[in-house]
Each structure stands twice: as C-alpha cells, then as structure tokens.
Homo-oligomer: A and B are copies of this chain.
C-alpha cells in the first residue's frame, strides 16, 4: 500500500539525530502485532521529552516542530500506517496515480499546509475546472457556471444570493479562539442550523440547498449542528464561498496534492524515522509530578509532556490516571464526527471533459450528491471522486460493498451517462467503520456544547496537550488546521519544557 515508488521523499530535518528511540518504523510496521488481551508481549519502555499520540498530519507536524527545537520525541500511532484521515491508495495500472480516500484538496488560503508542503517539496496541481459544472435536480442534469446552481425555483436562488453574505457576516462575529464569547453566543448555541434556517429562510428549496452545502462540508445534517458552531467553522475558513467554492475559485477545492495527501504525512514520518512507532493503540496515560507514562499495545513511553493528536471523540477511549477534568471528560462525549463515504471511480479517460463538463456535480439526489474530477495532471486515467454524506452515508455505512458500489455508480450514471457506470476500477471508503477515526471529516458540536464546554477543547490537562484539526483556529477541520494545531501544541510543550 505504501509503495515508495509513488512518493517522493525529499528534504530532511534533524537527519543527524540517531535512531536511539527503539524499533525502526519499518520494523514496527512489520510486527503487525495484535492487541488481544492475554496475547501481549511485555512492551519495551522508551523515554523521550515528548510523546505524541497520533501520526496524522497534526501529530506529525507537532513531532517535527519538536525535533526542530531539539527535543526528543516518540510518536505512537494506532494504525499500521501514518496519515490518519489522509489515506491515499495507488490506482492500479495508472502510472503512479493515487486515489485519496480521505482528505483530498488544498486551497490557496490554507497557508499552514501549503508552507509545510513547500518545506517537504510536495507539489500541488489545479483541479480540472475548464467547462461547466452540473446541477442535478428533479431527475435531470443542467450544466452551469458560477457558484449558486441554477435552481428550478428562481425565488430560492434569489434568497440564497441574499442569505449567504448575511451568514458570512454573522460568522465574522464568532472569534476563532473563543467562539463562546461571540455576541449572542448563548442563543446561537441554543439552536441548530436547521431551526435557524427554518426561521430565517423562507423558500424550502433554498433550505434544501443550505442542507446540501453543510452535508458537503461536514457530512452531517443541519439538525446536528449548533448554529454557533456552524458560524465558527465558516469564520475559521473565511467564508461559505471559500468552503464550498468550485475548483478554481480560490476556495478549499482548488488543488490536488501530487502523490496524494497521505504523502505529506509519509514525508514527515520518513524524516522522523524510527521515532514513529506504528501498531500502537494507546490505552492509558498516567502522569504525576515527575512525568508521564503512555501505555500502548507494543510500547511504553515515559515523557515529560504528551501531545494527543486524535479526533476528540476518540480521546475518550483512553484511560487517564489521574482522570482528566470532568469538563474535558464530558466535552469529548459531546463531539461526534460526521458520516462520510468517499467513492472513487476510475476510467481510461476523463470522458466528461470532451462533453464540455469539468466533472463537478451538485445534486439533490443521493447517495452521491457531490462529485469532483480528481484525475492526475496528465488527465489519464480519468478519476471521479464522489461523496456520500450524512443521511446518504448512513444508508450505506453498513451495507455490503457490492450494494454500496451499485448505489454510487447509479449516481455517477445520473450525472454522466451510462459510460460512468463502467469504471475500470472502483473503490470506496466508509469512514464511520474506521476504528481509529470514527467518522469523517471532523468532530462537530451539537447545540450547547461550545458555550458549556468549549474552554476545555484546547486547555491542557497537566502534562497532556491537545492537537488534531479540531483544536485549530484557522481552517479547523482541514489538513491546514491539523498542521496549525500540531505546531501550536508543540509550542505549548516547548514552553512547558523550559
């Protein structure tokens, strides 16, 4: 899966630091140890200044910043791979093209991840955007250009044109660092995006499009989201347009990552070398006046400080000694993660392009309601990437793979005709089935949580610091937020180690 051939590993930080910290990356990955009780080997104990838990883009960014600052680090990763929600698989017989089964795009204002990619010499390339998008409504597909699809109901289109700037304006009043201090925070956090929309959007078709936008962004339904959270999320990205804009519009979907998004984590892991221990789900973290001890399935790490870089909902699975604060314990009961299935269909050529289409679709009909062209720069093979979000994902999360594939391809055929039903390769990824993620793309907060528990989100508990994209203050929920959060946690720890 992680064939070195397709990923360029350039640049090296702290290259001279010897591998004094135990089993090498390759060695640990090779063990493939199972975590069954009663079958454990006695884990080796290692010592470092800092133990980082989670080798996604956030944890690895933290580890990298710490190594740069001269600290010793061990990274414990539960899976047999790095990257977390960034997971890229090679497309067979495709001249090293990859399919991103999780995080996919980067945008021009995502400066933290772009700077990291520059350092790692990982390139990006524009998502294909020549030609028209498709809006599929009531069973027929309509080509269009611009941001708002050509809704059959012109009143809805008009209302949306007024609504979106209004919401952007509201979003600006929600501070990224402390959303609970926003004016009207209590009342905004007392309602859902759905109830707010029901009060503030007249046209039911406009409401439907609001739902569609939020499903596409967070893979949840408007009923799931605190209105305060929604505005906060928008503000951390800049605007609704920045979040949902078409490829080429300056938003979050402008670029694809050469070699796939996972290659960013792989490049960092390669630099960190044997500091990264795979196959090590962490079960317990203890801390006292002298330091902390992290117990994983195949390693025990003693450290002065710990960075936990996981989706908040999963941090509740670890045992802590002493227990965390009640505020933190209850917060993570209240940060569920969305329901997302990514589907990839590969064709010999991007046949839609010759029809004047750029492969982007927005649709009122599931299960795949959003599609992008995710082909490599050469345009061969042709790759379509489709999202099942929220209710659509729930309908197929526990379905058998053949049923899911048939449902996805039916959507592709709706949009691009019968040719789309015969991909030469299909793959999907059900994030709600991922034990070490729990869903995708990011943890949300239902009403009440930000105002009641928000202060516990980034607050360290003793020697334990929190990273992961959910703790970011810029582009939270994205790779860029993960990088920012990891670097911020590293700064906290460097301060604490002084």
Interface residues of A (CB under 8 A from B): 35-38, 40, 42-43, 186-187, 189-192, 194-195, 198-199, 220-224, 283-284, 286, 295, 300, 313, 316-317, 319, 321, 323, 325-327, 329-330, 333-337, 339, 391, 394, 397-398, 430, 432-433, 435, 438-439, 446-449, 451-453
Contacts and interface: CB of A to CB of B under 8 A. Distances in A.
A190 B190 contact: no
A192 B339 CA distance: 21
Q: Which 9 A-B pairs have the closest CB atoms?
A: A446-B446, A326-B432, A326-B397, A37-B295, A223-B448, A190-B194, A333-B336, A191-B195, A190-B223
Contacts of A38: 42-43, 295, 300
17 contacts: A36-B286, A37-B284, A37-B295, A38-B295, A190-B198, A190-B222, A191-B192, A191-B194, A191-B223, A223-B452, A224-B452, A317-B317, A323-B435, A327-B394, A327-B432, A330-B339, A333-B337
Contacts of A398: 325-327
A490 B353 CA distance: 60
Helix, strand, loop or mixed for chain A's interface? mixed
Contacts of A336: 330, 333-334
B326 A433 contact: yes
Given A224-B448, A339-B330, A323 B194 contact: no
A398 B319 CA distance: 18
A269 to B, nearest CB: 25
Nearest to A187: B198
A83 to B, nearest CB: 20
Nearest to A341: B326
